[in-house]
Chain A
Protein backbone atom coordinates (compact mmCIF):
# COMPACT_ATOMS: atom_id res chain seq x y z
CA UNK A 1 0.00 0.00 0.00
CA UNK A 2 2.18 2.82 -1.26
CA UNK A 3 0.94 6.19 -0.16
CA UNK A 4 1.96 9.22 -2.15
CA UNK A 5 3.74 11.80 -0.08
CA UNK A 6 3.64 14.52 -2.67
CA UNK A 7 1.74 17.50 -1.53
CA UNK A 8 0.26 18.44 -4.87
CA UNK A 9 -3.22 19.65 -4.31
CA UNK A 10 -6.27 18.83 -6.31
CA UNK A 11 -8.68 16.03 -6.85
CA UNK A 12 -6.41 13.73 -8.85
CA UNK A 13 -4.18 12.78 -5.90
CA UNK A 14 -7.26 12.23 -3.77
CA UNK A 15 -8.84 9.98 -6.37
CA UNK A 16 -5.78 7.79 -6.86
CA UNK A 17 -5.13 7.24 -3.17
CA UNK A 18 -8.71 6.96 -2.00
CA UNK A 19 -9.89 3.80 -3.73
CA UNK A 20 -6.79 1.88 -2.61
CA UNK A 21 -7.34 2.68 1.07
CA UNK A 22 -11.05 2.05 0.63
CA UNK A 23 -10.41 -1.39 -0.81
CA UNK A 24 -8.23 -2.24 2.16
CA UNK A 25 -10.97 -0.85 4.41
CA UNK A 26 -13.44 -3.34 2.97
CA UNK A 27 -10.94 -6.18 3.44
CA UNK A 28 -10.30 -5.19 7.06
CA UNK A 29 -14.03 -4.93 7.64
CA UNK A 30 -14.68 -8.41 6.31
CA UNK A 31 -11.73 -9.78 8.28
CA UNK A 32 -13.06 -8.25 11.49
CA UNK A 33 -16.57 -9.53 10.83
CA UNK A 34 -15.10 -12.96 10.19
CA UNK A 35 -13.27 -12.76 13.49
CA UNK A 36 -16.60 -11.97 15.15
CA UNK A 37 -17.98 -15.23 13.80
CA UNK A 38 -14.94 -17.14 15.06
CA UNK A 39 -15.23 -15.57 18.50
CA UNK A 40 -18.91 -16.35 18.72
CA UNK A 41 -17.97 -20.03 18.64
CA UNK A 42 -16.18 -19.54 21.97
CA UNK A 43 -19.13 -17.61 23.37
CA UNK A 44 -22.04 -16.10 21.48
CA UNK A 45 -21.96 -12.83 23.38
CA UNK A 46 -18.47 -12.03 22.11
CA UNK A 47 -19.77 -11.15 18.64
CA UNK A 48 -22.02 -8.24 19.65
CA UNK A 49 -19.37 -6.96 22.11
CA UNK A 50 -16.74 -7.04 19.35
CA UNK A 51 -19.04 -5.30 16.87
CA UNK A 52 -19.93 -2.62 19.40
CA UNK A 53 -16.26 -2.06 20.17
CA UNK A 54 -15.64 -1.74 16.42
CA UNK A 55 -18.43 0.82 16.27
CA UNK A 56 -16.79 2.67 19.14
CA UNK A 57 -13.42 2.64 17.39
CA UNK A 58 -15.01 3.88 14.19
CA UNK A 59 -16.78 6.65 16.09
CA UNK A 60 -13.63 7.71 17.93
CA UNK A 61 -11.73 7.95 14.65
CA UNK A 62 -14.48 9.73 12.71
CA UNK A 63 -15.09 12.33 15.39
CA UNK A 64 -11.39 12.58 16.43
CA UNK A 65 -12.69 12.00 19.92
CA UNK A 66 -10.07 11.97 22.61
CA UNK A 67 -10.88 12.32 26.31
CA UNK A 68 -7.37 13.62 26.90
CA UNK A 69 -7.95 16.44 24.41
CA UNK A 70 -11.27 17.19 26.07
CA UNK A 71 -9.70 17.92 29.44
CA UNK A 72 -6.47 19.35 28.09
CA UNK A 73 -8.00 21.80 25.64
CA UNK A 74 -9.93 23.47 28.46
CA UNK A 75 -6.60 24.70 29.77
CA UNK A 76 -4.49 24.80 26.65
CA UNK A 77 -6.89 26.47 24.23
CA UNK A 78 -9.80 27.62 26.39
CA UNK A 79 -11.99 25.24 24.42
CA UNK A 80 -14.74 22.92 25.65
CA UNK A 81 -15.68 21.53 22.25
CA UNK A 82 -15.01 17.88 23.02
CA UNK A 83 -16.20 18.25 26.61
CA UNK A 84 -19.63 19.17 25.28
CA UNK A 85 -19.62 15.95 23.30
CA UNK A 86 -18.71 14.03 26.44
CA UNK A 87 -21.60 15.66 28.32
CA UNK A 88 -24.05 14.61 25.62
CA UNK A 89 -22.73 11.05 25.77
CA UNK A 90 -22.86 10.99 29.56
CA UNK A 91 -26.44 12.23 29.57
CA UNK A 92 -27.58 9.57 27.12
CA UNK A 93 -25.65 6.84 28.92
CA UNK A 94 -26.97 7.90 32.33
CA UNK A 95 -30.55 7.39 31.23
CA UNK A 96 -29.79 4.13 29.44
CA UNK A 97 -27.70 2.73 32.32
CA UNK A 98 -30.38 3.64 34.86
CA UNK A 99 -33.00 1.72 32.93
CA UNK A 100 -30.67 -1.26 32.66
CA UNK A 101 -29.67 -1.17 36.33
CA UNK A 102 -33.32 -0.92 37.31
CA UNK A 103 -34.02 -4.15 35.50
CA UNK A 104 -31.31 -5.89 37.52
CA UNK A 105 -31.80 -4.24 40.90
CA UNK A 106 -35.34 -2.86 41.11
CA UNK A 107 -34.98 -1.90 44.76
CA UNK A 108 -31.74 0.03 45.26
CA UNK A 109 -32.29 0.66 48.95
CA UNK A 110 -31.55 -2.88 50.07
CA UNK A 111 -27.79 -2.81 49.67
CA UNK A 112 -27.37 -4.89 46.52
CA UNK A 113 -25.42 -3.24 43.70
CA UNK A 114 -26.00 -3.99 40.02
CA UNK A 115 -23.19 -6.44 39.33
CA UNK A 116 -21.54 -5.21 36.17
CA UNK A 117 -21.92 -1.47 36.70
CA UNK A 118 -18.78 0.61 37.17
CA UNK A 119 -19.40 1.55 40.78
CA UNK A 120 -15.91 2.08 42.08
CA UNK A 121 -14.32 2.92 45.45
CA UNK A 122 -14.24 6.60 46.34
CA UNK A 123 -11.16 7.91 48.05
CA UNK A 124 -7.43 8.39 47.77
CA UNK A 125 -7.13 5.82 44.98
CA UNK A 126 -9.61 7.82 42.88
CA UNK A 127 -7.78 11.08 43.50
CA UNK A 128 -4.24 9.83 43.02
CA UNK A 129 -5.28 7.65 40.09
CA UNK A 130 -7.02 10.58 38.44
CA UNK A 131 -4.13 12.98 39.00
CA UNK A 132 -1.63 10.53 37.54
CA UNK A 133 -3.85 9.58 34.63
CA UNK A 134 -4.75 13.19 33.82
CA UNK A 135 -1.10 14.20 33.86
CA UNK A 136 0.09 11.18 31.90
CA UNK A 137 -2.55 11.44 29.20
CA UNK A 138 -1.65 15.04 28.41
CA UNK A 139 2.06 14.27 28.38
CA UNK A 140 1.73 11.33 26.02
CA UNK A 141 -0.74 13.05 23.68
CA UNK A 142 -3.72 10.77 24.20
CA UNK A 143 -5.64 8.75 26.76
CA UNK A 144 -6.06 4.96 26.53
CA UNK A 145 -8.97 4.96 24.07
CA UNK A 146 -7.36 7.86 22.22
CA UNK A 147 -4.13 5.89 21.91
CA UNK A 148 -6.04 2.83 20.71
CA UNK A 149 -7.80 4.67 17.92
CA UNK A 150 -4.63 6.49 16.90
CA UNK A 151 -2.63 3.26 16.87
CA UNK A 152 -4.99 2.13 14.13
CA UNK A 153 -4.51 5.42 12.23
CA UNK A 154 -0.79 4.79 12.06
CA UNK A 155 0.52 7.02 14.84
CA UNK A 156 3.72 5.33 15.89
CA UNK A 157 3.89 7.46 19.07
CA UNK A 158 0.58 5.92 20.16
CA UNK A 159 2.09 2.46 19.91
CA UNK A 160 4.85 3.70 22.20
CA UNK A 161 2.22 5.17 24.58
CA UNK A 162 0.45 1.84 24.65
CA UNK A 163 3.72 0.14 25.58
CA UNK A 164 4.05 2.63 28.41
CA UNK A 165 0.48 1.99 29.51
CA UNK A 166 1.16 -1.73 29.74
CA UNK A 167 4.31 -1.06 31.78
CA UNK A 168 2.45 1.31 34.11
CA UNK A 169 -0.34 -1.20 34.59
CA UNK A 170 2.32 -3.79 35.35
CA UNK A 171 3.89 -1.61 38.05
CA UNK A 172 0.51 -1.02 39.60
CA UNK A 173 -0.32 -4.71 39.53
CA UNK A 174 2.85 -5.42 41.44
CA UNK A 175 1.97 -2.78 44.05
CA UNK A 176 -1.80 -3.18 44.19
CA UNK A 177 -1.76 -4.94 47.56
CA UNK A 178 0.05 -2.01 49.15
CA UNK A 179 -2.67 0.35 47.90
CA UNK A 180 -5.38 -2.07 48.97
CA UNK A 181 -4.10 -2.18 52.52
CA UNK A 182 -3.17 1.52 52.71
CA UNK A 183 -6.38 2.91 51.33
CA UNK A 184 -8.64 1.04 48.94
CA UNK A 185 -9.91 -1.54 51.43
CA UNK A 186 -11.18 1.36 53.55
CA UNK A 187 -12.74 3.24 50.66
CA UNK A 188 -16.54 3.10 50.32
CA UNK A 189 -18.44 2.68 47.09
CA UNK A 190 -21.09 5.36 46.88
CA UNK A 191 -23.97 4.43 44.61
CA UNK A 192 -26.37 7.36 44.43
CA UNK A 193 -29.67 5.44 44.16
CA UNK A 194 -28.95 3.65 47.45
CA UNK A 195 -28.42 6.84 49.41
CA UNK A 196 -31.05 8.91 51.19
CA UNK A 197 -33.85 7.07 49.39
CA UNK A 198 -32.93 8.80 46.14
CA UNK A 199 -33.59 5.79 43.96
CA UNK A 200 -33.00 5.77 40.23
CA UNK A 201 -35.13 8.86 39.64
CA UNK A 202 -33.15 10.86 42.15
CA UNK A 203 -29.88 9.50 40.86
CA UNK A 204 -30.65 10.37 37.25
CA UNK A 205 -31.94 13.83 38.08
CA UNK A 206 -28.89 14.66 40.21
CA UNK A 207 -26.53 13.37 37.54
CA UNK A 208 -28.23 15.22 34.70
CA UNK A 209 -28.31 18.29 36.90
CA UNK A 210 -24.59 17.96 37.48
CA UNK A 211 -24.00 17.63 33.75
CA UNK A 212 -26.07 20.74 33.12
CA UNK A 213 -24.04 22.70 35.64
CA UNK A 214 -20.87 21.45 34.00
CA UNK A 215 -22.22 22.55 30.61
CA UNK A 216 -22.95 26.05 31.87
CA UNK A 217 -19.51 26.16 33.45
CA UNK A 218 -17.93 25.29 30.11
CA UNK A 219 -19.94 27.95 28.31
CA UNK A 220 -18.71 30.52 30.82
CA UNK A 221 -15.16 29.19 30.48
CA UNK A 222 -15.26 29.58 26.71
CA UNK A 223 -16.70 33.09 26.97
CA UNK A 224 -13.54 34.05 28.83
CA UNK A 225 -11.38 32.73 26.01
CA UNK A 226 -12.82 34.73 23.16
CA UNK A 227 -12.93 31.78 20.80
CA UNK A 228 -14.61 32.47 17.52
CA UNK A 229 -14.51 30.49 14.31
CA UNK A 230 -14.30 32.89 11.38
CA UNK A 231 -17.05 32.55 8.78
CA UNK A 232 -15.61 31.24 5.59
CA UNK A 233 -17.65 30.84 2.41
CA UNK A 234 -18.47 27.23 1.58
CA UNK A 235 -19.21 26.22 -1.97
CA UNK A 236 -22.53 24.47 -2.14
CA UNK A 237 -22.07 20.97 -3.51
CA UNK A 238 -24.48 19.93 -6.26
CA UNK A 239 -27.08 17.56 -4.83
CA UNK A 240 -29.64 17.14 -7.59
CA UNK A 241 -29.17 13.60 -8.76
CA UNK A 242 -29.55 10.53 -6.57
CA UNK A 243 -25.87 9.71 -7.09
CA UNK A 244 -24.88 13.16 -5.87
CA UNK A 245 -27.11 12.88 -2.83
CA UNK A 246 -25.70 9.46 -1.96
CA UNK A 247 -22.18 10.72 -2.51
CA UNK A 248 -22.72 13.62 -0.12
CA UNK A 249 -24.19 11.25 2.45
CA UNK A 250 -21.26 8.84 2.06
CA UNK A 251 -18.75 11.60 2.49
CA UNK A 252 -20.44 13.09 5.53
CA UNK A 253 -20.13 9.72 7.32
CA UNK A 254 -16.97 8.21 5.87
CA UNK A 255 -14.81 11.11 4.76
CA UNK A 256 -15.53 14.33 6.58
CA UNK A 257 -15.05 14.41 10.33
CA UNK A 258 -17.97 14.15 12.69
CA UNK A 259 -18.65 16.83 15.27
CA UNK A 260 -17.71 16.10 18.88
CA UNK A 261 -21.35 16.24 19.92
CA UNK A 262 -22.30 13.58 17.39
CA UNK A 263 -19.31 11.47 18.41
CA UNK A 264 -20.09 11.77 22.09
CA UNK A 265 -23.75 10.99 21.55
CA UNK A 266 -22.98 7.89 19.51
CA UNK A 267 -20.47 6.71 22.13
CA UNK A 268 -23.14 7.18 24.78
CA UNK A 269 -25.52 4.96 22.83
CA UNK A 270 -22.80 2.36 22.24
CA UNK A 271 -22.06 2.39 25.96
CA UNK A 272 -25.67 1.69 26.77
CA UNK A 273 -25.87 -1.12 24.21
CA UNK A 274 -22.67 -2.69 25.49
CA UNK A 275 -23.99 -2.65 29.04
CA UNK A 276 -27.23 -4.21 27.85
CA UNK A 277 -25.24 -6.96 26.15
CA UNK A 278 -23.05 -7.59 29.16
CA UNK A 279 -21.04 -4.82 30.79
CA UNK A 280 -20.28 -1.11 30.49
CA UNK A 281 -17.54 -0.24 28.03
CA UNK A 282 -14.04 -0.33 29.43
CA UNK A 283 -10.61 -0.81 27.90
CA UNK A 284 -8.18 -0.83 30.80
CA UNK A 285 -9.16 -4.23 32.18
CA UNK A 286 -8.09 -6.10 29.08
CA UNK A 287 -4.80 -4.20 28.95
CA UNK A 288 -4.19 -5.03 32.62
CA UNK A 289 -4.88 -8.68 31.84
CA UNK A 290 -2.44 -8.55 28.94
CA UNK A 291 0.20 -6.89 31.08
CA UNK A 292 -0.22 -9.50 33.82
CA UNK A 293 0.08 -12.28 31.23
CA UNK A 294 3.31 -10.79 29.88
CA UNK A 295 4.75 -10.48 33.39
CA UNK A 296 3.80 -14.09 34.18
CA UNK A 297 5.48 -15.26 30.99
CA UNK A 298 8.63 -13.43 32.11
CA UNK A 299 8.44 -15.18 35.49
CA UNK A 300 7.53 -11.97 37.18
CA UNK A 301 3.86 -12.59 37.90
CA UNK A 302 2.17 -10.03 40.14
CA UNK A 303 1.01 -11.14 43.58
CA UNK A 304 -2.63 -12.12 43.84
CA UNK A 305 -4.58 -8.90 44.11
CA UNK A 306 -6.43 -8.55 47.41
CA UNK A 307 -10.05 -7.50 47.20
CA UNK A 308 -10.02 -6.84 43.47
CA UNK A 309 -12.48 -9.56 42.55
CA UNK A 310 -15.17 -7.92 44.67
CA UNK A 311 -14.86 -4.62 42.88
CA UNK A 312 -16.38 -3.71 39.55
CA UNK A 313 -14.68 -1.76 36.84
CA UNK A 314 -11.68 -2.63 34.73
CA UNK A 315 -9.81 -5.04 36.92
CA UNK A 316 -8.13 -7.37 34.44
CA UNK A 317 -9.56 -10.39 36.16
CA UNK A 318 -11.82 -11.34 33.30
CA UNK A 319 -10.87 -14.93 32.84
CA UNK A 320 -8.47 -17.06 30.88
CA UNK A 321 -8.11 -17.69 27.18
CA UNK A 322 -7.67 -15.20 24.41
CA UNK A 323 -11.27 -14.43 23.54
CA UNK A 324 -12.90 -12.97 26.62
CA UNK A 325 -15.50 -10.24 27.07
CA UNK A 326 -12.86 -7.67 27.83
CA UNK A 327 -10.85 -8.75 24.78
CA UNK A 328 -13.83 -8.15 22.52
CA UNK A 329 -14.71 -4.83 24.13
CA UNK A 330 -11.16 -3.48 23.92
CA UNK A 331 -9.36 -4.98 20.94
CA UNK A 332 -12.39 -4.43 18.68
CA UNK A 333 -11.65 -0.70 18.83
CA UNK A 334 -8.61 -1.23 16.60
CA UNK A 335 -10.27 -2.64 13.45
CA UNK A 336 -13.17 -0.21 13.88
CA UNK A 337 -10.84 2.75 13.91
CA UNK A 338 -8.73 1.32 11.07
CA UNK A 339 -11.78 0.94 8.84
CA UNK A 340 -12.77 4.53 9.61
CA UNK A 341 -9.29 5.82 8.87
CA UNK A 342 -8.97 3.88 5.62
CA UNK A 343 -12.33 4.95 4.17
CA UNK A 344 -11.42 8.54 4.98
CA UNK A 345 -7.91 8.09 3.61
CA UNK A 346 -6.59 9.20 6.96
CA UNK A 347 -4.32 6.21 7.58
CA UNK A 348 -0.69 7.26 7.49
CA UNK A 349 2.37 5.97 9.31
CA UNK A 350 3.24 9.00 11.38
CA UNK A 351 6.68 9.05 12.96
CA UNK A 352 7.54 11.77 15.47
CA UNK A 353 10.41 13.82 14.11
CA UNK A 354 11.84 14.51 17.52
CA UNK A 355 13.24 11.80 19.78
CA UNK A 356 11.90 13.56 22.87
CA UNK A 357 8.32 12.82 21.74
CA UNK A 358 9.05 9.11 22.10
CA UNK A 359 10.16 9.73 25.66
CA UNK A 360 7.02 11.80 26.32
CA UNK A 361 4.79 9.13 24.86
CA UNK A 362 6.46 6.37 26.87
CA UNK A 363 6.70 8.31 30.12
CA UNK A 364 3.16 9.64 29.84
CA UNK A 365 1.94 6.15 29.06
CA UNK A 366 3.61 4.64 32.13
CA UNK A 367 2.10 7.30 34.39
CA UNK A 368 -1.32 6.77 32.75
CA UNK A 369 -1.10 3.02 33.18
CA UNK A 370 -0.29 3.30 36.85
CA UNK A 371 -3.14 5.77 37.39
CA UNK A 372 -5.66 3.65 35.50
CA UNK A 373 -4.71 0.53 37.43
CA UNK A 374 -5.10 2.42 40.68
CA UNK A 375 -8.47 3.91 39.75
CA UNK A 376 -9.58 0.57 38.25
CA UNK A 377 -10.35 2.23 34.96
CA UNK A 378 -9.37 5.07 32.66
CA UNK A 379 -11.33 7.94 31.13
CA UNK A 380 -13.68 5.25 29.80
CA UNK A 381 -14.11 2.78 32.66
CA UNK A 382 -13.65 5.11 35.63
CA UNK A 383 -15.32 8.14 34.07
CA UNK A 384 -17.42 7.66 30.94
CA UNK A 385 -18.91 4.42 32.26
CA UNK A 386 -18.80 5.33 35.93
CA UNK A 387 -20.84 8.53 36.03
CA UNK A 388 -23.71 6.84 34.15
CA UNK A 389 -23.45 3.97 36.64
CA UNK A 390 -24.56 6.63 39.14
CA UNK A 391 -21.34 6.23 41.08
CA UNK A 392 -19.80 9.21 42.88
CA UNK A 393 -16.37 7.86 41.98
CA UNK A 394 -16.85 9.02 38.39
CA UNK A 395 -17.24 12.64 39.46
CA UNK A 396 -14.27 12.59 41.83
CA UNK A 397 -12.14 10.94 39.15
CA UNK A 398 -13.18 13.65 36.66
CA UNK A 399 -12.13 16.35 39.09
CA UNK A 400 -8.78 14.67 39.66
CA UNK A 401 -8.34 14.20 35.89
CA UNK A 402 -8.90 17.93 35.40
CA UNK A 403 -6.24 18.80 37.97
CA UNK A 404 -3.82 16.29 36.50
CA UNK A 405 -4.48 17.59 33.00
CA UNK A 406 -3.89 21.16 34.15
CA UNK A 407 -0.50 20.18 35.51
CA UNK A 408 0.26 18.26 32.36
CA UNK A 409 -0.50 21.32 30.24
CA UNK A 410 2.05 23.38 32.19
CA UNK A 411 4.69 20.77 31.39
CA UNK A 412 3.96 20.18 27.70
CA UNK A 413 4.01 23.89 26.95
CA UNK A 414 7.54 24.02 28.28
CA UNK A 415 8.85 21.07 26.32
CA UNK A 416 7.48 22.13 22.96
Chain B
Protein backbone atom coordinates (compact mmCIF):
# COMPACT_ATOMS: atom_id res chain seq x y z
CA UNK B 1 0.00 0.00 0.00
CA UNK B 2 1.35 3.41 -0.94
CA UNK B 3 0.65 6.47 1.15
CA UNK B 4 1.62 9.86 -0.24
CA UNK B 5 1.24 12.26 2.67
CA UNK B 6 3.45 15.03 1.36
CA UNK B 7 2.04 18.46 2.20
CA UNK B 8 -0.04 17.14 5.07
CA UNK B 9 0.08 19.09 8.31
CA UNK B 10 1.07 17.58 11.64
CA UNK B 11 -0.03 14.97 12.81
CA UNK B 12 -1.68 13.62 9.69
CA UNK B 13 1.40 12.07 8.08
CA UNK B 14 2.01 9.90 11.14
CA UNK B 15 -1.67 9.37 11.85
CA UNK B 16 -2.38 8.08 8.36
CA UNK B 17 0.61 5.73 8.50
CA UNK B 18 -0.62 4.34 11.81
CA UNK B 19 -4.17 3.92 10.51
CA UNK B 20 -2.79 2.05 7.50
CA UNK B 21 -0.84 -0.32 9.74
CA UNK B 22 -3.88 -0.84 11.94
CA UNK B 23 -6.07 -1.61 8.94
CA UNK B 24 -3.66 -3.94 7.17
CA UNK B 25 -2.68 -5.81 10.35
CA UNK B 26 0.56 -7.03 8.83
CA UNK B 27 -0.91 -8.36 5.61
CA UNK B 28 0.91 -5.86 3.41
CA UNK B 29 3.71 -3.31 3.32
CA UNK B 30 2.98 0.37 3.77
CA UNK B 31 5.19 2.72 1.76
CA UNK B 32 4.94 6.26 3.11
CA UNK B 33 6.12 9.23 1.03
CA UNK B 34 6.50 12.18 3.34
CA UNK B 35 8.11 15.61 3.60
CA UNK B 36 7.46 15.92 7.34
CA UNK B 37 10.60 15.32 9.40
CA UNK B 38 8.81 14.43 12.66
CA UNK B 39 7.67 11.23 10.92
CA UNK B 40 11.22 9.96 11.24
CA UNK B 41 10.93 10.09 15.02
CA UNK B 42 7.27 9.20 15.45
CA UNK B 43 6.57 6.37 13.03
CA UNK B 44 9.30 3.83 14.02
CA UNK B 45 8.07 3.35 17.61
CA UNK B 46 4.54 2.85 16.28
CA UNK B 47 5.78 0.24 13.83
CA UNK B 48 6.72 -2.16 16.60
CA UNK B 49 3.30 -1.69 18.15
CA UNK B 50 1.50 -2.97 15.06
CA UNK B 51 3.85 -5.78 14.12
CA UNK B 52 5.92 -3.95 11.53
CA UNK B 53 9.55 -3.13 11.08
CA UNK B 54 10.76 -0.21 9.02
CA UNK B 55 13.26 1.21 6.58
CA UNK B 56 13.97 4.87 5.84
CA UNK B 57 15.37 6.32 2.63
CA UNK B 58 16.28 9.95 2.09
CA UNK B 59 15.11 11.18 -1.27
CA UNK B 60 16.63 14.62 -1.01
CA UNK B 61 14.63 17.84 -1.22
CA UNK B 62 13.30 17.26 2.31
CA UNK B 63 11.45 14.10 1.29
CA UNK B 64 11.68 10.63 2.75
CA UNK B 65 10.32 7.21 1.96
CA UNK B 66 9.46 5.19 5.04
CA UNK B 67 8.72 1.57 4.20
CA UNK B 68 6.81 -0.34 6.83
CA UNK B 69 7.42 -4.05 6.44
CA UNK B 70 5.40 -6.68 8.26
CA UNK B 71 7.61 -8.47 10.76
CA UNK B 72 8.40 -12.00 9.82
CA UNK B 73 8.29 -11.28 6.13
CA UNK B 74 11.83 -9.84 5.81
Contact = CB atoms under 8 A, between A and B. Distances in A.
Interface of A: 3-9, 13-14, 16-17, 64, 66, 68-69, 72-73, 76-79, 81, 140-142, 146, 154-155, 157, 225-230, 232, 257, 260, 345-348, 350-354, 357, 360-361, 412-413, 416
Contacts of B62: 3, 154, 345-348
Given A5-B61, A7-B65, A77 B42 contact: yes
Given A8-B59, A17-B60, A229 B45 contact: yes
A357 B10 contact: no
Contacts of B37: 64, 257, 346
B35 A348 contact: yes
Q: How large is the interface on B (under 10, 10 to 19, 20 to 34, 35 or more residues)?
A: 35 or more
A141 B63 CA distance: 19
Given A9-B57, A346-B62, A77 B46 contact: yes
A290 B42 CA distance: 34
B58 A9 contact: yes
Contact of A7 (B12, B19, B41, B63): B63
A226 B12 contact: no
Interface string B45-74: 111110011110111111101000001000
B58 to A, nearest CB: 7
Given A228-B49, A230-B48, A348-B35, A69 B11 contact: yes
A353 B48 contact: no
Given A229-B44, A229-B45, A412-B15, 19 more contacts: A9-B59, A9-B65, A17-B61, A64-B38, A68-B10, A77-B18, A77-B42, A77-B45, A79-B45, A79-B46, A141-B12, A157-B9, A229-B48, A230-B47, A230-B54, A257-B41, A346-B62, A348-B62, A351-B7
A183 to B, nearest CB: 33
Contacts of B55: 232
A200 to B, nearest CB: 36
Contact of A227 (B7, B49, B54): B49
Given A7-B33, A7-B65, A228 B45 contact: yes
A86 to B, nearest CB: 15
Given A14-B58, A345-B62, A81 B38 contact: no
